Amino acid sequence: MKINWKKWLGDYGLFLLASILILSGWEWIVRKGMIPSFILPSPSAIWLSLIENLQLLLAEHLPATLKEVLIGFGISLAGGLLVGVGMHFSRALEKVLYPFLVISQTIPMIAISPIFIMWFGYTIWSKIAVTILIAIFPIVVSTYDGLKTGGKEYKELLLTMGATRWTIFKKIQLPMALPSILSGLKMSVVYCVVGATIGEWLGASVGLGYFSRRMSGNLQADAVFAAIFLLSLMGIVLFLLISFIEKQLLKNIIRN
């Protein structure tokens, strides 16, 4: 596939320019000694720290966090879709679950996470639990709301053809909900990275969150930033991955 550079530059040129300006300004301020480097390390120091710790980060911490994110996202996806569809089909289930879902989002994650550590110990499951608690909400809501929007007129048309509720769900409501569901997934996958990091901050022996916390204790701000850089990169890559899947799936649903 040939990349259209002109278009690419048009889309991302300004962002690129702003990034370069910010990074240069940042580097200049730190080099001039206006801010001590243990408070705000310069971009070049972060880069050097990243290179220095790369072996450790890539071999040990990144895979650990990624594993938590992927398992957490997988369970959130399956559970979220199931609950969203279930709430669509059963009003009773909707009435019971919806308030709980909203309440679950008002709980400060940092406050409840230590309980997960108590329940699941320092195993991977305590981090996955935090991840799911954060990531399942957007999937459930986007699935449920997406299914609700599936036009009444289309539903009536299929009813006159003698369609069952399940057929209407399959032929009309699910395809129409897909854009909404995929938006939810994009949000959710980014939340997964946040959830896994919070989980690791509270108790872990491996992972990028754990690493950044340890380095923060050692006042090695450059290494903290290096870990954050990798976490953010992970979020971006996962987001782009879902965006790509979205484009493939929605090719014909949203045309033009």
Partner 1 sequence: MLTIENLTYAFEDNRPIFQNISIDVKAGEFVSVIGASGSGKSTLFKLITGLLDPDQGEIKINGNNSGSRLGKVGYMPQKDLLLSWRSVLENVLLPLEVSKKKSQLKIPEIREWLTRFGLAEVEKAYPDELSGGMRQRVAFLRTIMTGKDILLLDEPFGALDSLTKRNMHSWLLGLWGELQKTVLFITHDLEEAILLSDRIYLLGQETSREIKVSLPRPRKKELIYQSEFVTMRKELERLIQNEN
Q: Which residues bind partner 1 (CB under 8 A)?
A: 151, 153-154, 156-163, 167, 171-172, 175, 252-256
CB of 182 to partner 1, least distance (A): 14
Specify the residue, 48 or 163, whose C-beta has the smaller distance to partner 1.
163
**Which residues have CB under 8 Å from 109's CB, separation 6+?**
130, 133, 134, 195, 198
Specify the residue, 40 or 176, whose C-beta has the smaller distance to partner 1.
176
Cβ contacts of 17-22, under 8 Å, gap ≥ 24 = none
Closest CA to 222 of 46, 57, 6: 46
CB of 48 to partner 1, least distance (A): 51
Specify the residue, 75 or 178, whose C-beta has the smaller distance to partner 1.
178
CB of 174 to partner 1, least distance (A): 11
Q: Are 185 and 61 in contact (CB under 8 A)?
A: no
CB of 162 to partner 1, least distance (A): 2
**Which residues have CB under 8 Å from 22's CB, separation 6+?**
none
Residue 234 to residue 63: CA distance in whole angstroms: 11
Burial class (CB in 10 A: 0-12, 13-18, 19+), 137: buried
**Which residues have CB under 8 Å from 228's CB, separation 6+?**
212
**Which residues have CB under 8 Å from 58's CB, separation 6+?**
none
Specify the residue, 219 or 253, whose C-beta has the smaller distance to partner 1.
253
CB of 251 to partner 1, least distance (A): 9
Specify the residue, 233 or 245, whose C-beta has the smaller distance to partner 1.
245
